[in-house]
């Protein structure tokens, strides 16, 4: 016998987790900055600087660039103090080797600072880092067997498909742009900046993955007279990643992370900002691969020893985006005269089950800068749970990440600030089926060896649930012979009817 073998080459997701950790750092106020009277807010950007796949461990390193905004002693407008806080996190990833790939998305959920004295600050940041570790794997499968006619081989095959992660690619890229500052008076001072890359479109063309998107740039500005304003700019980007083995029908998921952000006033134009971004695109490509498995095997002339094992095949259940609108009142305990700025950060997504429903809960960290009745800048922040319900039977796996499209709306309201925003739950649900399959087989003794002459015909009643294949295999006949002998056209056996089973000689 000669087996027809094939190889499934794809990636296994060995870990998919969100790590939450807190980092602290004490910093001295630079000599050029005045003493601190009161800290108002901390605006920050979490950037990724490195990833590493090791034996059983996925490691991510990065940096939090924080702008501490404070009111100085002696009055005047807000001042800015820049602090860099490095971080490292790692997740246990059984099965991961150095050949694997680590994908990561760090987010700054919350940042706070406390003045230990007028010249010393304690910074605390709360991070959420999404880590996905993918390991390339190869599986040999048997799709069928060939042999001589004398052996009378009969085989049963399974025809299906495997929804697989066929490619994991990444590409660092850099682009620069210039942003015009809209202001009626003199050129304002830049207090804080943060960037949020969003991939809006992707498409496979041959072996190339073309993706486009926007970097949403949020600026906090201070006018010459001390007034604050927020500005939002969208910077477009377009890139290409080489992807092999996916085909043009693959499903793509592309996330873009910030590795470095520089935003400085232009030397030639005081009302322009030169923006330079180093970005990292991380792509996962899924495809549907046709699969043929040899499920069972027997010979009409000889006994066969068969070795089997279960082959896991994945099936796509649903791929969807589920927006959830949020409207909430952030209580301040004082009158809010006006809102200066509002920003949102998303934490980890937790999953719990209620019957047939899967409940997805994301943490939304909202921060609002506002002016109180005395025209002083104040800050209020809260963590809000956002839930999404998904019909998901037991045994179905759901991968989910969240995004916040659009801006956060915030306005003064009775008792505080009313905020409105939308959180999108991007869900991918899959189900894995274990299909029994033949891995090896060996011909044994002839069926009638040592048993004397076999009868030419057997009459028997099928047992409940017994299939035509089982009967033919047990008696060393082919299914076609049994169908012809009983004048049947379909493999479904008639209930309560005796079957004539011819013997193959």
Rounded Cα–Cα distance for residues 69 and 194 (Å): 14
Q: Which residue has the higher pLDDT, 186 or 213?
A: 213
**How sure is the predictor about 452, in pLDDT bands with cuts at 50, 70 and 90?**
low
Rg value, the chain, Cα: 32
Domain segments of the chain as ranges: 2-136+164-287+316-432, 453-505
Rounded Cα–Cα distance for residues 180 and 272 (Å): 5
- Across the chain, what does the average pLDDT equal? 92
Segment 9-28 shows an average pLDDT of: 95
* pLDDT above 70 for 184: no
CB atoms within 10 A of CB 83: 19
Q: How far is CA 358 from CA 262, 397, 400, 427, 430, in A?
A: 41, 10, 11, 11, 13
- What pLDDT, on a 0 to 100 scale, did the predictor assign at position 76? 85
* pLDDT above 60 for 451: no
Q: pLDDT tens for residues 217-249? A: 999 999 888 889 999 999 999 999 998 777 778
Rounded Cα–Cα distance for residues 79 and 69 (Å): 6
Segment 472-478 shows an average pLDDT of: 89
* pLDDT above 90 for 410: yes
Rounded Cα–Cα distance for residues 318 and 295 (Å): 28
Rounded Cα–Cα distance for residues 99 and 236 (Å): 33
- What pLDDT, on a 0 to 100 scale, did the predictor assign at position 460? 86
* pLDDT above 60 for 505: no
* pLDDT above 80 for 182: no
- What pLDDT, on a 0 to 100 scale, did the predictor assign at position 149? 65
CB 175 within 8 A of CB 188: no
Q: pLDDT tens for residues 78-97? A: 999 999 999 999 999 999 99
Question: Which region among 54-58, 129-133, 191-195, 353-357 has the lowest average model confidence (pLDDT)?
Answer: 353-357
CB 189 within 8 A of CB 231: no
Question: Taking the model in full, what pTM does it have?
Answer: 0.89
Q: Which residue has the higher pLDDT, 463 or 280?
A: 280
Closest CA to 7 of 289, 244, 207, 315: 289
Q: What percent of the chain has pLDDT over 70?
A: 97
Closest CA to 303 of 440, 442, 470, 436: 442
Question: Is 3.30.930.10 the CATH classification of the domain at 453-505?
Answer: no
Q: pLDDT tens for residues 262-315? A: 999 888 787 899 999 999 999 999 999 999 999 999 998 888 999 999 999 999
Within its chain, how far is the Cα of 127 from the centroid?
Answer: 18
* pLDDT above 60 for 450: no
State phi, psi for 471 to the nearest 5 degrees: -65, -45
- What pLDDT, on a 0 to 100 scale, did the predictor assign at position 497? 86
Query: Both tokens of residue 362?
Result: 């994301």
**How sure is the predictor about 133, in pLDDT bands with cuts at 50, 70 and 90?**
very high
Segment 255-265 shows an average pLDDT of: 94
**How sure is the predictor about 12, in pLDDT bands with cuts at 50, 70 and 90?**
very high
Taking the CA of residue 149 as centre, how many other CA atoms within 13 Å lie in the half-sphere pointing to its CB?
0
Q: How far is CA 89 from CA 18, 37, 51, 68, 279, in A?
A: 11, 34, 10, 24, 20
Q: pLDDT tens for residues 106-122? A: 999 999 999 999 999 99
Closest CA to 40 of 370, 437, 387: 370
């Amino acid at each position: 016998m000669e087996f027809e073998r094939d190889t499934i080459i794809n990636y296994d997701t060995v870990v998919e987790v969100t790590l939450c950790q807190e980092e602290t750092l004490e910093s001295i106020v630079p000599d050029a900055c005045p003493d601190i009277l009161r800290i108002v807010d901390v605006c920050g950007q979490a950037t990724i600087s490195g990833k590493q796949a090791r034996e059983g461990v996925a490691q991510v390193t990065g940096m939090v660039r924080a702008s501490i905004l404070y009111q100085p002693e002696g009055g005047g407008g807000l001042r800015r103090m820049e602090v860099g806080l490095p971080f490292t996190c790692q997740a246990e990833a059984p099965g991961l080797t150095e050949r694997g790939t680590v994908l990561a998305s760090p987010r700054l959920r919350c940042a706070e600072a406390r003045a230990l004295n007028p010249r010393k600050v304690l910074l605390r940041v709360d991070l959420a880092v999404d880590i996905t570790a993918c390991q390339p794997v190869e599986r040999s499968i048997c799709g069928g067997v060939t042999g001589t006619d004398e052996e009378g081989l009969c085989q049963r095959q399974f025809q299906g498909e495997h929804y697989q992660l066929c490619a994991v690619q990444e590409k660092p890229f850099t682009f620069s742009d210039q942003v015009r500052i809209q202001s009626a008076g003199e050129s304002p001072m830049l207090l804080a900046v943060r960037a949020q890359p969003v991939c809006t479109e992707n498409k496979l063309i041959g072996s190339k993955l073309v993706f486009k998107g926007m970097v949403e740039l949020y600026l906090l500005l201070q006018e010459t007279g001390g007034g604050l304003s927020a500005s939002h700019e969208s910077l477009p980007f377009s890139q290409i990643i080489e992807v092999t083995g996916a085909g043009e029908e693959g499903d793509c998921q592309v996330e873009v992370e910030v590795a470095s952000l520089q935003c400085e006033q232009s030397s030639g134009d005081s009302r322009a900002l030169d923006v330079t971004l180093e970005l990292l695109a991380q792509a996962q490509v899924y495809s549907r691969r046709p699969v043929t498995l040899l499920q069972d095997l027997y010979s009409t002339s000889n006994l066969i020893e068969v070795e089997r094992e279960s082959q896991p095949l994945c099936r796509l259940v649903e791929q969807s985006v589920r927006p959830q609108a949020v409207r909430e009142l952030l209580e301040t305990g004082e009158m809010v005269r006006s809102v200066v700025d509002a920003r949102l950060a998303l934490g980890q997504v937790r999953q719990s089950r209620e019957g047939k429903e899967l409940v997805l809960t994301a943490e939304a960290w909202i921060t609002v800068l506002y002016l109180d009745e005395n025209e002083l800048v104040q800050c209020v922040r809260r963590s809000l749970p956002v839930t999404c319900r998904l019909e998901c039977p037991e045994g179905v796996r759901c991968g989910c990440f969240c995004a916040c499209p659009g801006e956060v709306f915030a306005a003064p309201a009775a008792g505080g600030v009313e905020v409105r925003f939308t959180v999108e739950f991007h869900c991918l649900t899959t189900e894995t089926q274990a299909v029994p399959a033949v891995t090896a087989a060996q011909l044994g003794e002839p069926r009638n060896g040592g048993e004397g002459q076999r009868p030419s015909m057997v009459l028997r009643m099928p047992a409940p649930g017994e299939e035509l294949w089982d009967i033919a295999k047990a008696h060393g006949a082919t299914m076609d012979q049994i169908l012809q002998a009983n004048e049947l056209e379909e493999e479904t056996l008639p209930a309560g009817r005796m079957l004539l089973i011819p013997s193959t000689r």
